[in-house]
Amino acid sequence: MMVAGLVLVVGLAALYALGIRAIVQVPFRALGVLVSGMAFHNIVLMILLRLSTPAPLIRVVQAWKEGILLLLLVLAVRVAVTAWRAGGRPRLLFLDWAMLAFTIVVIVYALIPSSWSGVPVTLSQRLVAVRLDLLLPLLYAYGRLFWTDRREDLTWVAAAIVGSAAVVGLFAAIELWLIPTRVWLDAGVNQLSSWLGFTYH
């Protein structure tokens, strides 16, 4: 079974390389890659766990979205430096200010000692919360920076999002009506829950 997991990881790496290539060519397409990838994220992890794939490889697969966000950060810095050298200065809109305020609130909240709230929070829990909370303004900033009016790119992103939603929706309908819960439990849902740090009751 582990061999099948390794083959799946290689296939996912090839798919990831195609996604990276699309993003480097047109950074706006990252929206389609991220949304469609997240639609299949948990089921892929469940399959890898069920196939006894080595844990370090699963962690690498699990970090695919952070890799894309890091790539977008590099591309954003390059665009910002080029614009700054050309004399361009950002003009902030109302929503830009709102996202900036949200970011400041998240950072301040993360720095407040947990003793003030009366709820014990570990450093790792804080880091996970900050990572999740800052995802929204980060994606907003990337969308603002890399927005495109090209019909081809908008169609590509829409097709990726709608296509993945259709596949997940169809799968969910089949699963809801035709697959008993016991099958999911036997297939490794508990493994995924445990991997993510949850306990299934």
Listed in sequence order, the residues at least 6 apart from 58 whose beta carbon sits closer than 8 Å to its beta carbon are 45, 48, 49, 195
Share of the chain above pLDDT 90, in %: 39
* pLDDT-based confidence at residue 120 (cuts at 50, 70, 90): confident
CB 49 within 8 A of CB 191: yes
| Structural domain spans, the chain | 1-89+150-201, 92-147
Alpha helical stretches, state H, the chain: 2-25, 30-50, 55-62, 64-85, 94-111, 114-117, 123-146, 151-178, 181-187, 189-195
Instruction: Give pTM, 2 decimals.
Output: 0.80
Residue with the two structure tokens 């090839």: 14
Query: Residue 41 pLDDT > 80, yes or no?
Result: yes
pLDDT in tens, 144-162: 888 888 999 999 999 999 9
More confident residue, 178 or 196: 178
Query: Residue 93 pLDDT > 80, yes or no?
Result: yes
Listed in sequence order, the residues at least 6 apart from 96 whose beta carbon sits closer than 8 Å to its beta carbon are 90, 144
The C-alpha atoms of residue 55 and residue 189 are separated, in whole angstroms, by 16
- Phi and psi at 52, nearest 5°, equal 60, 40
Residue with the two structure tokens 């301040």: 108
The C-alpha atoms of residue 35 and residue 47 are separated, in whole angstroms, by 20
Q: Which two tokens stand for residue 200?
A: 């299934």
Q: What is the mean pLDDT of the chain?
A: 87
Q: CA 50, 60, 122 angle in degrees (round to 5)?
A: 95
